[in-house]
């Protein structure tokens, strides 16, 4: 499964697994938009994510913009390695709220 969903504090946490690309980013998009439609803020956990392409990044940007319009939040958790490089390359590390660990998330 490309993601696992859990509840953490008052957030829905979507843990992304393995590699997100054009093949599976529509699944991630569908789930992220469903969470936001229910009115929940979301944590996107990158701790078990090894790769993300521009379709995955575009999905996160779309969800981030929707969250902002609904006065919800979308926070990236534990980005490292290749996925962090992509965020830095696109300067989105300065756009998305990011925390190093789930325990750093404020209630």
Partner 1 sequence: MKLNRRIEHCASTEKLCQIRAEVRQACQQMHFCQEDINLITLAIDEACTNIIRYAYSGDESGRLIVSIFHNESDAIFHLQDFAKCISPSCLEVRKKNLTEPGGLGLQLIHQVMDQVQLLPPSSSIGNILELKKHLPLL
Q: Which residues bind partner 1 (CB under 8 A)?
A: 19, 21-23, 51, 53-55, 57-58, 61-62, 64-65, 81-82, 85-86, 89-92, 95
Nearer to partner 1, 48 or 90 (CB): 90
Q: How far is the CB of 64 from partner 1 (least distance, A)?
A: 7
Nearer to partner 1, 75 or 102 (CB): 75
Q: How far is the CB of 44 from partner 1 (least distance, A)?
A: 16
Q: How far is the CB of 63 from partner 1 (least distance, A)?
A: 11
Q: How far apart are the first and last CA of the chain?
A: 28
- Provide long-range contacts, Cβ within 8 A and 24+ apart, for 2-8: 2/27, 2/28, 3/27, 3/28, 3/31, 5/31, 5/35, 8/43, 8/102, 8/105
Nearer to partner 1, 8 or 29 (CB): 29
> What DSSP state is assigned to residue 104?
G
């Amino acid at each position: 499964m490309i993601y696992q969903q859990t509840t953490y504090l008052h957030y829905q946490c979507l843990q992304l697994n393995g590699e997100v690309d054009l093949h599976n980013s529509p699944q991630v998009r569908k789930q992220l938009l469903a969470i936001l439609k229910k009115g929940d803020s979301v944590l996107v956990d990158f701790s078990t994510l090894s790769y993300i392409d521009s379709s995955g990044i575009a999905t996160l940007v779309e969800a981030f913009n929707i969250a902002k319009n609904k006065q919800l939040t979308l926070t990236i958790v534990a980005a490292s390695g290749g996925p962090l490089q992509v965020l830095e390359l696109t300067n989105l590390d300065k756009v998305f709220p990011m925390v190093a660990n789930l325990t750093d998330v404020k209630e």
